[in-house]
Amino acid sequence: MTPSRNLSGNLELNPQSRINVVMEQNPSKKTELMSETRTCVKLSFQMKRVFVVLLVMIGFGFSANTQTIRYVKLTGTGGGSSWADASNNIQAMINASSVGDQVWIASGAYLLSATLEMKNRVSIYGGFFGDETDINQRQKSGINPWEFTNATILDGQNAVRVLNQENAFTSETVCDGVTITKGKGDYDSWTCLGGGAYIRENGKLINCIISNNNVSGWHAVGAGIYNNGGAISHCFINNNTASSTTGNASGGGVYNINGTISFCTITYNTSAHTSNQAFDASGGGISNNNGTINNCTVSNNICSSSSILSVSYGGGIYNSSSSSRVIDCIVENNKTIYNYNGTSYSDMSRGGGIYGGTVSRCFIIGNISGQGGGLHGSIASNCLILLNSGLKGGGAYDGTYTNCTFVENSATNSGGGLYRNSGTVTANNCIFWKNAATSSGSQISTNVTVNYSAVQDGYTGTANITITADNMIGGPMFVNPSADNYSLLAGSPCVDAGNNTYLSYDDMIDIAGNSRIHNNVVDMGAYECLEEVSIVKTEYGKFVRFYPNPTNDKFIVEFNSVATIKLYDMFGKEVLIQTVNGKTEINISHLPKGVYNVQILSESKIVGNSKIVKQ
């Protein structure tokens, strides 16, 4: 066991050791220190006596807090002391509970005529059959954490908010394993809030389904959940609607203020302004106001507006500022729509996937908007921006982009990959490939600051490289674009071609979770290339190793059997054939630089394929 260190970095010794050290250094201190030690021993003995007395007092006159579980069944008629004595009144069981208690609710559809009010440090659990003795005995019907065999459904009957937390709590209080549905938002002044649930600081929804809730009215905010400083985790949030004819609509799935949303699926939610007035809609899936969203899938949400004077922002996610963060998420197939006079998309619809905010390590795929199909005005890093479309800026519109990969985005006007409208728009350490625009700027529109980036057909800037549309011949050399694998092969011109100074601390992990700067210089794009040893699994289940890859003059093949290795150039011409057995060196010094397909044959049958790069 090693000695511990104090905050100053010095070794910590036990008290007796310190006494011995002092006595050895200054013998005159011996009497004084021994006296102090005797005093400490005496005090310690007295404290032990007090502790024993306290234990006796607790045993005879005092009771410690013990957790009580109260039970609810749809058919219950009792006081809630057990499953056999279950109550049918959820609110009564919450009210009867004290700090640290729990309320367990058996399966069934509980039709609510009044909102359930949470209580500080009284947690609510659903998903029970009605005979369990442990939380972990609840049965799951699927792989997702919210899928319970015995569903507990809290139904607001389109008349009341289902769940409410009136004030911030002093410590974490959870609602776990319930379905919150058909809730109707309640008014706070001119705003209708939280159709399904309203939670605040230290309130937490976990393993829940939040579906078919709504808010409507003057201003409509947070149809599924209004989260004011609380936490939402491992929930399925779908088919909730925030709509207004007389004001703003925001947060179809969740309206998030200073809260966290993690490991959730937010899908098929809507935020809509539906009249010809000068009000806006935002956040079809989530409206995020200085909160954090991480490890979520946000898909198929819609934000729409119907007025010539209104704007729709953020089909998937609307971020109010750069302090609103989106991390490690999939944002896919979301839309912002402008419905005035039958026009689906225009400059009045902005950020199909994400509007604004700071976005890190996200997959932004297949989103649609007028301005910025994928992103609008975001600060994004280590993102894959793929197959998004818009009028201007199919991939992104305005903003700052570092180590992002833009692929196959399209614009019917300009800026297939990235469009600049105003201000400084930058792209550093990025890859732009196979983007398209009908008017101009297939990859990037004019006046964007682009440095240390790979751009198909080139773009003016510092240390940019020009790549072609052919992935393997002059292109970026992605591993397998047809399978949406946009990581880099060893030997790609994008490897070790970026600039480290553009990276912040938060950028040091790539989209795949690997550390950045593998070989002293960061790669371009969202993925850091780690490939030095290529490993191929043959049809017989055996492994072939090729290294180093890339190489200069020779490489090693390791295979625990006899095989034939054939090399083909990128035009399909066989350039080398050699038999290998065990560990074999193959000399390619006579071949020109380039990428070669490797074919592995055993008993005259092709059993595997790979690539080798000669630099």
Q: Is residue 5 part of a domain?
A: no
Please list, residue by residue across 566-576, b when 16 or more beta carbons sit within 10 angstroms of its beta carbon and e when fewer do. Answer: bbeeeeeeebb
Query: Is 4 contained in some domain?
Result: no
The whole-number pLDDT of residue 542 equals 66
Encode pLDDT of 287-331 as tens digits. 999 999 999 999 999 999 887 778 999 999 999 999 999 999 999
Q: Are the C-beta atoms of 81 and 71 separated by less than 8 Å? A: yes
Last residue of a domain, which of 27, 61, 95? 61
pLDDT of residue 15: 30
Q: Are residues 312 and 431 in the same domain?
A: no
197 and 317 co-located in one domain: yes
Sign of CA dihedral 577, 583, 587, 588: positive
Q: Which residues pair with 467 in a beta bridge?
A: 456
Question: Count of domains in the chain?
Answer: 4
Q: Are residues 262 and 249 in the same domain?
A: yes
Decide if 254 is inside a domain: yes
Instruction: At 418, list the tokens.
Output: 């990235």
| The last residue of a domain, from among 481, 502, 531 | 531
Residues 132 and 208 in one domain: yes
Q: Is residue 1 part of a domain?
A: no
Query: Which residues make Cβ contacts (< 8 Å) with residue 479, sequence separation at least 6?
Result: 485, 486, 487, 488, 489
**Among candidate residues 360, 378, 398, the one where a domain is terminated:** 360
Q: 405 in a domain, yes or no?
A: yes
- Asked if residue 368 and residue 331 are part of one domain, the reply reads no
In a domain, 169, yes or no: yes
Q: Are residues 38 and 91 in the same domain?
A: no
Q: Are residues 315 and 204 in the same domain?
A: yes
My answer on whether 461 and 607 are in the same domain is no
Cβ-contact 556, 598 below 8 angstroms: no
Predicted model pTM: 0.80
Residues 268 and 399 in one domain: no
595 and 501 together in one domain: no
Query: Bridge-partner residues for 454, per DSSP?
Result: 431, 465
Q: Tell me the two tokens of residue 505.
A: 């601390």
Task: Assess contact for 155 and 180: CB atoms under 8 A.
Answer: no
- Report the DSSP beta bridge partners of residue 243: 216, 272
Task: Indicate whether 368 and 414 sit together in one domain.
Answer: yes
What is the rounded average pLDDT for all residues in the chain? 86
Report the Cα 485 to chain-centroid distance in Å: 19
CATH number at residue 608: 2.60.40.3080
pLDDT of residue 55: 32
Peptide bond into 15 cis (omega under 30): no
Place of tokens 């379905």: 179
Domain that holds residue 506: 361-531
3-state secondary structure (DSSP) of residue 301:
coil
390 and 344 in a common domain: no
Calpha distance 191→228 (Å, rounded):
15
Q: What is the pLDDT of residues 490-546, one digit of tens each?
A: 889 999 999 999 999 889 999 988 889 988 999 999 999 876 656 566 665 667 777
**Residues in the chain with pLDDT < 70?**
1-65, 340-345, 531-542
171 found inside a domain: yes
Domain-embedded: residue 10 = no
